[in-house]
Chains A and B, each alone.
Chain A
Amino acid sequence: MEAASLPAALELAAGGGAGLSPEKRAVLGASLLLLQRDYRFERVWFWGCIRGVRGAYYIAEGLGPDRAAPRSRLYRCGGPASPPLRAADGTCLGRWDRGGRFRGWGEKRGRSEGAAQLSWREPRCAPEGPGKAASSPVLQRARACVVLVAGSLNCVEWSLLPPVTEEMVAQAEQLKGRFQGDPSFEYEYTEINAEDAERLFEDGKEPMIKEESRLVATIEQIDKAVGIIPRGAFVKTPLGSVRENRNFEGLSLTEAKKLSSYFHFTEPVNLKNKTLLEKADLDPSTDFLDSLEHDIPQGSWTVQLEKGGTVVVLRSLLWLGLTFYHVPMTKQYGYVYFGTGEKNLDLPFML
């Protein structure tokens, strides 16, 4: 959901019982704006919250001029007690104290250098600092997926997530169970077959995956699978970039109840498989994405009218916790994820 309309949007998407506390709302309102300023994003979307066992991650996405480019994702974690920061070999480097400062054990107050994990205060990809991030060529490319993970108790600081790679996604798919809430937590592969292990780790690396990687892979999967927008909300310009459609006035009530009026906001997969007859009716400026009607399994979306029929709410059953809302005949729409970050693989049995 748009950071600018966060309070109103949270009210509309609250039908599932999950939302933000007033404290979080207030802090996000301010910190998302600062994010926009620091990273020079054109738009900042509050993506949602992934609840781990010991803490939660709050995710924001930043978009550049081309909305369809890979997004920058930033995260911050909030939790009861922030876990200690660990180096790759497992030695504990320190922990956040109550005031939100990082204290390294055995080191002076402040950043702990030489940590396997880069310093919490600086984003991973841009060593110059957030202010100069936009100019860094590395970040330009990685702009699409910046996940900010704030790692302090008061969750004001955001951190950039590394850009997602296919290897990360493949590794993350092997993992099961809840997120822990600690970005430096390392999962061990105990259940993986010997063959898979050889295939994935040909370099002889140890089979460990950090929770941060799992986080960014999960976010990417969720966005790809169930990140949706209403039809006509975005247009593709003749040059190929995707912008918001300024003439989008909202779907009508009848249109809003149909699954075909919503698109996956990701690279289309089924579009080229359509017959010529179907393609003839499409408008290339607005119909350049896959619609929801052909999602497998059928029925993996619930469409409901809430608040007395004034809001259309779509909930995904594949990723439980993703809620999309739209007020028909207005420009208000958005999606947010509040959940545990696990795919619902039992879906075919449950329908």
Chain B
Amino acid sequence: MYQSSALGLDPYQTQEPESAYQTYAAGQDPYQAYQHGHGPYQPHEPGYGLYQPGYSPYDDQIPDPKSRMLAIQNAKAYLLKSSTTSGLNLYDHLANMLTKILDEQPANAVDIIENISKDVKWAQFQKKMDTLRDEHEILPTFEAAEKHKALFLRANGEGDEELEEEIGETPLPNVMETAFYFEQAGIGLSKDEFYHIFLALKKLISVQPIQTCRFWGKILGLEMNYIIAEVQYHEGEEEEETEEEEVIEEGGKGMGEVEDEDEKKEDEPPKSTYKPPPVIPKEENGTGANKYVYFVCNEPGKPWVKLPPVTPAQIVCARKIKKFFTGRLDAPVVSFPPFPGNEANYLRAQIARISAGTQISPIGFYQFAEEEGDEEEEEGGGRDTYEENPDFQPLSVAEMVGSLSAWVHHGQSILNQGRCVWLNPFQKSEEEEEEDEEEEKAEEPNELQQEIGPPLLTPLSEDEGIQNIPAWTAEASTNLIPQYAVAILQSNRWPGAYAFASGRKFDNIYFGWGHKYSPENHIPALPPPVQAEYPSGPEIAETRDPTLEEELAFKAAREEALAAAEEEEDEEDVDEDEEDEDDD
């Protein structure tokens, strides 16, 4: 018997059973035993609480059985009555509930009794549907797990020969090592995700002819995120995608010529003298902002997509807008000034900006190539190639953390123009000379100053801070164990860009939303001012229309003048156009 001593009831007050049912509420009369003779005094003794006034404690036989039995049967029948709405009955429900409670023995069951009751009902309802078997749910989680599993499978047909190749020089970066060092600073994704990315990069390398590959980072988006790999192709193996772009440009020019011919037949409306600023050509693949090729995927396991090379116009526009990425590469970027491209181009432009601003390395790791004769045609005289320094002596962690001049940028910075190497757009090239024949040259080419940015491999101490915040925050990963600490740099200009250095190893990574930090609120570009109307002068000044009398008078005066002119045999040119203009 499960008796609970309900405290708080007055032990000296005998509860008069008012209903027809005897309630064996224990603990009510703990002292009654004293009053009525010997009986079980303690709760653990059998028969405790059964003692009621008028009955002996060992009296299990219920007196007056008939009426009591009838009452019990009525009660039970009532409890067994099925509900009209749900088909359950209270008796079964209570039995199930008590069974569940006794099986599970939750703490403080009385506090959650309603929830238990609800759960029992819910379970009941489900069971009745067993006659129809549920179709096995294909959760999206299963499909994702399939994709992940596919990463772990090796492609068929690879024998032991492949194994040997892989162990040798491979462009695959050691992502887990990088993950370990960044984890010392508390930066990075979970180990699982890193490993998946590792395998996805391996897949990328096996598909594309890649010379060097690096995990660039992860950019978060609204619907999906981007995982980005920075890649350099083998020389000469790059696919020629530039042909498509040239074809589109030539097609556009052809259309323009056809339209000109049609209009020459009629009176030409005044031709606009507006000459759009020249389009600055993008940098060649493999140089400047397009030095690396970037592949993105939404999740490791999904196919990698190559991002198109970036154009200066896109970079210039990306500097003016601030938009979240949605996660779909073909999504349009709705902004002002209108971004020339879709999200893939915007992503590429942001990656270019981030790389240019935050790719750093310990000083001395890279050095300039010694041969100066191989420099390409550059007007600025800056160098854009570097190579690893075989004599690199790593600095200690304390020095790397203490002074920012121990780090240098190895990403070329992007000028205001949108390129890394300045190009004068007004330089006469073969195509532009044809267009310049008819029109005068604008005076602008002389005004464009050559833009010079900081040269490659400048130390970080030259970086400007924002207001009073330095551009980089340096710290060691741990102060408790300085022997094995890792030097960590966090960028304050591009929050989310990190770099670490430990001995000869270093790397950069980006985890963030892809935007630059600005303490001021983002001010979108205003629309350009309203264009001025045609400059007003006396020729187009409106005057009042002449009245009939004025016209007749004028006509008469004119005839007199004509007659006078004929007499004098002087011909004067009378502008009869004035009348026509007044009618407008």
Binding site for B on A (CB under 8 A): 11-12, 14-24, 51, 53-54, 79-80, 98, 153-154, 176-178, 246-247, 253, 299, 302, 304-305, 307-310, 315, 317, 320, 340, 345-346, 349-351
Chain B residues with CB under 8 Å of A351's CB are 323-324
Question: Interface digits, B40-76 against A, CB 8 Å rule (1 contact, 0 not)?
Answer: 0000000000000000000000000000000000000
Chain A residues with CB under 8 Å of B190's CB are 11-12, 14-15, 307
A80–B476 CB distance below 8 A: yes
Q: Does any Cβ of A come within 8 Å of B26's Cβ?
A: no
Chain A residues with CB under 8 Å of B475's CB are 79-80
A21–B322 CB distance below 8 A: no
Q: Does any Cβ of A come within 8 Å of B119's Cβ?
A: yes
B189–A309 CB distance below 8 A: no
CB distance from A343 to the nearest CB of B (A): 10
Of all A-B residue pairs in the complex, the 4 with the closest CB atoms, nearest first, are: A17-B511, A308-B144, A309-B141, A80-B475
Q: List 22 A-B contacts (CB under 8 A).
A: A15-B190, A15-B193, A15-B220, A17-B188, A17-B217, A18-B186, A18-B511, A21-B477, A23-B480, A80-B473, A98-B479, A177-B467, A177-B469, A246-B106, A253-B140, A305-B141, A307-B193, A308-B141, A320-B513, A346-B521, A350-B323, A350-B515
State which of A12, A21, A154, A299 has its C-beta within 8 Å of the C-beta of B185: A21
Chain A residues with CB under 8 Å of B477's CB are 21, 23
B218–A17 CB distance below 8 A: yes
Q: Does any Cβ of A come within 8 Å of B512's Cβ?
A: yes
A18-B187 in contact given A304-B225, A309-B140 (Cβ < 8 Å): yes
Task: State in angstroms the CA–CA spacing of A254 and B197 once bound together.
Answer: 28
B478–A23 CB distance below 8 A: yes
B218–A154 CB distance below 8 A: no
Chain A residues with CB under 8 Å of B324's CB are 317, 350-351
A21–B478 CB distance below 8 A: yes
Task: State in angstroms the CA–CA spacing of A21 and B476 once bound together.
Answer: 12
Chain A residues with CB under 8 Å of B479's CB are 98, 153-154
Task: State in angstroms the CA–CA spacing of A51 and B469 once bound together.
Answer: 13
State which of B139, B492, B519 has its C-beta within 8 Å of the C-beta of A253: B139
A345–B521 CB distance below 8 A: yes
A299–B222 CB distance below 8 A: yes
CB distance from A26 to the nearest CB of B (A): 10
Q: Which of B90-125 contact A (CB under 8 A)?
A: 106, 112, 115, 119
Q: Which of B188-204 contact A (CB under 8 A)?
A: 188-193
A315–B139 CB distance below 8 A: no
Chain B residues with CB under 8 Å of A309's CB are 139-141, 143-145
Majority DSSP secondary structure for residues of B touching A? loop
Task: State in angstroms the CA–CA spacing of A98 and B485 once bound together.
Answer: 15
Chain B residues with CB under 8 Å of A17's CB are 187-189, 217-218, 496, 511-512
Q: Which of B453-498 contact A (CB under 8 A)?
A: 467, 469-470, 473-480, 490, 492, 495-496
Chain A residues with CB under 8 Å of B222's CB are 299, 302, 317
CB-nearest residue of chain B to A27: B480
User: Assuming A98-B479, A302-B222, what are 8 further A-B pairs, CB within 8 angstroms?
Assistant: A16-B511, A17-B189, A17-B218, A18-B186, A51-B490, A176-B520, A305-B144, A307-B190
A14–B193 CB distance below 8 A: yes
A53–B322 CB distance below 8 A: no
State which of A22, A154, A320, A350 has its C-beta within 8 Å of the C-beta of B184: A22
B492–A53 CB distance below 8 A: yes
B480–A349 CB distance below 8 A: no
Q: Which of B505-534 contact A (CB under 8 A)?
A: 511-513, 515, 519-522, 524
Chain B residues with CB under 8 Å of A345's CB are 521
Q: Which of B380-410 contact A (CB under 8 A)?
A: 401
Binding site for A on B (CB under 8 A): 106, 112, 115, 119, 139-141, 143-145, 147-148, 183-193, 217-218, 220-225, 322-324, 401, 467, 469-470, 473-480, 490, 492, 495-496, 511-513, 515, 519-522, 524
Task: State in angstroms the CA–CA spacing of A302 and B144 once bound together.
Answer: 20
CB-nearest residue of chain B to A176: B519
CB-nearest residue of chain A to B119: A247
B148–A308 CB distance below 8 A: yes
CB-nearest residue of chain A to B524: A349
A308-B186 in contact given A346-B322, A346-B522 (Cβ < 8 Å): no
Chain B residues with CB under 8 Å of A19's CB are 183, 186-188
CB-nearest residue of chain B to A320: B513
CB-nearest residue of chain A to B141: A309
A177–B223 CB distance below 8 A: no
Majority DSSP secondary structure for residues of A touching B? loop
Chain B residues with CB under 8 Å of A153's CB are 479
B495–A340 CB distance below 8 A: yes
A15-B225 in contact given A53-B492, A309-B139 (Cβ < 8 Å): yes
Task: State in angstroms the CA–CA spacing of A14 and B467 once bound together.
Answer: 31
Chain B residues with CB under 8 Å of A315's CB are 220
A178-B187 in contact given A246-B112, A307-B192 (Cβ < 8 Å): no
CB distance from B471 to the nearest CB of A (A): 11
State which of A23, A24, A304 has its C-beta within 8 Å of the C-beta of B224: A304
CB distance from A327 to the nearest CB of B (A): 11
Task: State in angstroms the CA–CA spacing of A228 and B130 once bound together.
Answer: 37
Chain B residues with CB under 8 Å of A299's CB are 222
Chain B residues with CB under 8 Å of A18's CB are 186-187, 511
Chain B residues with CB under 8 Å of A11's CB are 190-192
Chain A residues with CB under 8 Å of B520's CB are 176
CB distance from B165 to the nearest CB of A (A): 30
A302-B139 in contact given A54-B473, A177-B467 (Cβ < 8 Å): no
CB-nearest residue of chain B to A55: B475
Chain B residues with CB under 8 Å of A53's CB are 469-470, 473, 492
Chain A residues with CB under 8 Å of B478's CB are 21, 23
A154–B480 CB distance below 8 A: yes
Task: State in angstroms the CA–CA spacing of A345 and B522 once bound together.
Answer: 8
CB distance from B326 to the nearest CB of A (A): 10
Task: State in angstroms the CA–CA spacing of A75 and B495 once bound together.
Answer: 23
Chain B residues with CB under 8 Å of A307's CB are 190, 192-193
CB-nearest residue of chain B to A237: B111
Chain A residues with CB under 8 Å of B143's CB are 309
State which of A51, A177, A246 has its C-beta within 8 Å of the C-beta of B519: A177
CB-nearest residue of chain A to B142: A309
CB distance from B417 to the nearest CB of A (A): 25
CB-nearest residue of chain B to A299: B222
Task: State in angstroms the CA–CA spacing of A56 and B359 once bound together.
Answer: 24
CB-nearest residue of chain B to A248: B115
Task: State in angstroms the CA–CA spacing of A253 and B138 once bound together.
Answer: 12
A80–B185 CB distance below 8 A: no
CB-nearest residue of chain A to B476: A80
Task: State in angstroms the CA–CA spacing of A231 and B199 once bound together.
Answer: 37
Task: State in angstroms the CA–CA spacing of A12 and B191 once bound together.
Answer: 11
CB-nearest residue of chain B to A21: B186
Central interface residue in A14, A20, A22, by most chain B CB within 10 Å: A14
CB-nearest residue of chain B to A13: B190
Task: State in angstroms the CA–CA spacing of A24 and B225 once bound together.
Answer: 27
CB distance from A292 to the nearest CB of B (A): 15
Chain A residues with CB under 8 Å of B401's CB are 80
Central interface residue in B190, B221, B520, B522, by most chain A CB within 10 Å: B190
State which of A12, A20, A98, A346 has its C-beta within 8 Å of the C-beta of B186: A20
Chain B residues with CB under 8 Å of A16's CB are 220, 511
Chain A residues with CB under 8 Å of B106's CB are 246
CB distance from A76 to the nearest CB of B (A): 14
Chain A residues with CB under 8 Å of B490's CB are 51
Task: State in angstroms the CA–CA spacing of A152 and B495 once bound together.
Answer: 25
A305-B519 in contact given A178-B469, A247-B119 (Cβ < 8 Å): no
CB-nearest residue of chain A to B144: A308
Chain A residues with CB under 8 Å of B220's CB are 15-16, 302, 315
State which of B322, B492, B495 has its C-beta within 8 Å of the C-beta of A349: B322
Chain B residues with CB under 8 Å of A176's CB are 519-520
Chain A residues with CB under 8 Å of B467's CB are 177
CB-nearest residue of chain B to A247: B115
State which of B112, B184, B189 has its C-beta within 8 Å of the C-beta of A247: B112
